[in-house]
Amino acid sequence: MCVFARQDMVKDPPFSRLDLISCRNAIIYFGPAMQKKLFPVLHYALKQKGFLLLGTSESVGAYANLFHLVDKKYKIYSKKAVQSPLTPEFTAREYAAATIEGHAQSSRSPENDQNFNVLEEADRIVLNQYAPAGVVINSDLEIIQFRGRTGAYLEPASGTPSLKLFKMVRDGLSLGLYSAINQAKKENRPVSRQGLPVVYNDRANYVNVDVIPIGAPHNKEKYFLVLFREMVSQARPQGENAASVAEGLEQTTWGNENTDLIRLEHELVATKENLQSIIEKHEFTNEALRAANEEIQSSNEELQSMNEELETAKEELQSSNEELITLNDEVQNRNLELGRISSDLYNLFRSINIPVVMLSNNLHIRRFNPAAEKAFNLIAADVGRPITDINTNFDNSDLKQSVLEVIDTLISKEQEVQDRYGCWYSVQIRPYRTTENKIDGVVITYVDIDTVKKGLTLSQEAREYAEGIVETVREPLLVLDAELRISSANKAFYQAFLVTPEETVNNCIFDLGNKQWDIPHLRALLEDILCENTMFEDFEVVHNFPRLGHKKMLVNARRIVGSNKQTKFILMAIEDATDRVRI
């Protein structure tokens, strides 16, 4: 069960016998006066082995004599076995429960209450009147409790108040008391010292001192109970005569001398023990210093080794720094080069009037130039979109298949397509190769071949028109190339000379038939036509032609030039003049 109650930590009476008090992030808001009231209350409220939990930024401060630090990180403290310096300043107006309890106690029987008070009073009288005076000290030789009247043995020292035992002990008692405490701390058993001198009111008195360890042996913090018992001199009996008195005085004088001798022997023994303790502490300190010196030497060697490693690491870092500087310069040069290449590529793309589109392996648009924006209806936001999702001016029905085929076969592909306006384009699809010679998409270019296409159409039409005219001419016609080979002949030639196209086309004019045209003067005239752009008419050739017999032919020839102004042809017309001579 968990009970919540409102409690003023300073004004309200404290709880008692608590195992744990959690007071986190509250003390930092209290001033010194408030903390002076609060910490004794907390100490009083805890059990003997209770714990105090503070915030990470809080501490007990000047009240370390009340609490022992258990965990520094989590600020956990345990209660010290000292008397709580609690000064009750609580008002009674809010304590109805205490009043009720008081009425309940008053309702008890007078007989029980009287017996109980008598016992307590008897214990108090015995402890105060007959128990020896003493103090309880901790392992740091600080007084944590005074028991009885200790003024004959202890007095506060002048200056700053202190509870250190040996700052309060009176003269003459320090040496033996220190020896007894040191022996009890070392052997963990009660130690007694008899007849230790102590100076009080300018008189030397003698006292017996008992030092008793308190606490379990396994407990880290040790406490000691120091008891002072004054030595009582024997009283002289009544009725003794003068001789007996004189003898007693002599014996007393002798006894005092013996007492002084015994006291001096005790002081000598205590001094020897103290000296032996000091020697042992000195030896222990020397051993600790020797061990510490060895540890320091080992640490020095480790530090020297670490220093060498750091020097090596420094050299490596310097080398790495130089490499990084060189690498940084290379990166800067590479960045400048990449910037120039990017600028060159940007200007190249903008200066090319041919639409260029770069696609990735999944047919997503990677880059395009300004000429492709109009041809494909592209905008800057289309980068990264599939080309098949773009409504272009071209028929993209087989574009996807063509691109995938080029990526698979790594063979460039070219085809002709028409846009929606009837213009012809030559589409070239080439693999996109990286600097590592890896295929990472394709590059598509659209070359405008509409003018060339229309020119070829017109040329084809003109050719067909000319061939139609030639075919309709009744005279035999031959077309010779620059090597005087027959490129073509009309139907009238095949009919007039009774030959086939296989026997005529691509053969030299001088090899036809039985070489009836192999006339030197005709050869010269034909070569002049090619070189000098001349012409001749009515050149007579009289020969016995195969399959025709004796014939007289009139030859006319002139040069014709192709559309590229470089191809030279000779148009040769042959007229049969045999019948004209007979008439």
CATH number for 464-582: choose from 3.30.450.20, 3.40.50.2300, 3.40.50.720, 1.10.3720.10.
Answer: 3.30.450.20
Average pLDDT over residues 338-342: 88
**Do residues 477 and 493 touch, judged by C-beta distance below 8 A?**
yes
**Do residues 551 and 575 touch, judged by C-beta distance below 8 A?**
no
- Cα separations (Å) of 481 from 514, 541, 567? 21, 21, 8
**108-230 with 464-582: one CATH topology?**
yes
Query: Residue 457 above 70 pLDDT?
Result: yes
Query: Residue 319 above 60 pLDDT?
Result: yes
pLDDT for residue 566 = 63
Average pLDDT over residues 255-283: 73
pLDDT for residue 235 = 44
Residue-wise pLDDT tens digits, 76-103: 999 988 877 766 555 444 444 444 444 4
Residue-wise pLDDT tens digits, 461-477: 777 777 777 777 778 88
pLDDT confidence band for 563 (50 / 70 / 90): low
> What backbone phi and psi angles, to 5 degrees, belong to 499?
-125, 170
pLDDT for residue 569 = 83
Q: Please choose, from the candidates 2, 6, 52, the residue with its C-alpha nearest in 3D space to the C-alpha of residue 27.
A: 52
pLDDT confidence band for 263 (50 / 70 / 90): low
- Sequence spans of domains, the chain: 1-107, 108-230, 353-448, 464-582
**pTM as predicted:** 0.36
pLDDT confidence band for 114 (50 / 70 / 90): very low
pLDDT for residue 220 = 67
Task: For tokens 């007694």, name the residue.
Answer: 192
pLDDT for residue 449 = 84
Pairwise CA distance, residues 439 & 442, whole Å: 8
Residue-wise pLDDT tens digits, 381-401: 888 888 888 777 777 677 888
Tokens of 130: 């007959």
pLDDT for residue 495 = 83
pLDDT for residue 54 = 92
How buried is residue 381: exposed, middle or buried, by Cβ count under 10 Å (0-12/13-18/19+)? exposed
> Lowest-confidence range among 16-25, 136-145, 288-297, 555-564?
555-564
> Lowest-confidence range among 122-131, 176-185, 208-217, 335-344?
122-131
CATH 1.10.940.10 applies to domain 353-448: no
Phi-psi region of 337 (alpha: psi -120 to 50; beta: other; left: phi over 0): alpha
Residue-wise pLDDT tens digits, 171-228: 888 888 888 888 888 888 899 988 888 888 878 888 999 999 987 656 667 889 999 9
> What backbone phi and psi angles, to 5 degrees, belong to 43?
-65, -40
> Lowest-confidence range among 226-240, 391-405, 427-441?
226-240
CATH code for the part of the protein at 108-230: 3.30.450.20
Average pLDDT over residues 5-15: 79
Single-letter code of the amino acid located at 170:
R
The residues that bridge with 571 in the sheet, in sequence order, are 479, 558
- Cα separations (Å) of 546 from 485, 514, 550, 551, 573? 20, 7, 9, 10, 19
Query: Radius of gyration of the chain from Cα atoms?
Result: 66
Percent of the chain exceeding pLDDT 90 equals: 9
> Lowest-confidence range among 114-128, 422-436, 526-540, 554-568?
114-128
- Cα separations (Å) of 434 from 55, 293, 337, 384, 431? 64, 68, 17, 19, 10
Task: For tokens 């959690």, name the residue.
Answer: 22
pLDDT confidence band for 52 (50 / 70 / 90): very high
Helical (H) or strand (E) element with 537 = strand 535-545
Percent of the chain exceeding pLDDT 70 equals: 85
Pairwise CA distance, residues 148 & 129, whole Å: 8
pLDDT for residue 503 = 85
> Lowest-confidence range among 67-71, 313-317, 488-492?
488-492
Query: Residue 499 above 60 pLDDT?
Result: yes
Q: What is the mean pLDDT of the chain?
A: 80
pLDDT confidence band for 253 (50 / 70 / 90): low
Q: Please choose, from the candidates 573, 548, 554, 551, the residue with its C-alpha nearest in 3D space to the C-alpha of residue 498.
A: 548
The CATH class for the domain spanning 1-107 reads alpha beta
Contacts within 8 Å (CB) and 24+ apart, 568-572: 568/481, 568/482, 568/530, 569/479, 569/480, 569/481, 569/482, 569/487, 570/479, 570/480, 570/484, 570/526, 570/529, 570/530, 571/477, 571/478, 571/479, 572/477, 572/478, 572/479, 572/480, 572/509, 572/526
Tokens of 430: 């080439």
252 against 534, higher pLDDT: 534
3-state secondary structure 80-124: CCCCCCCCCCCCCCCCHHHHHHHHHHHCCCHHHHHHHHHHHHHHH
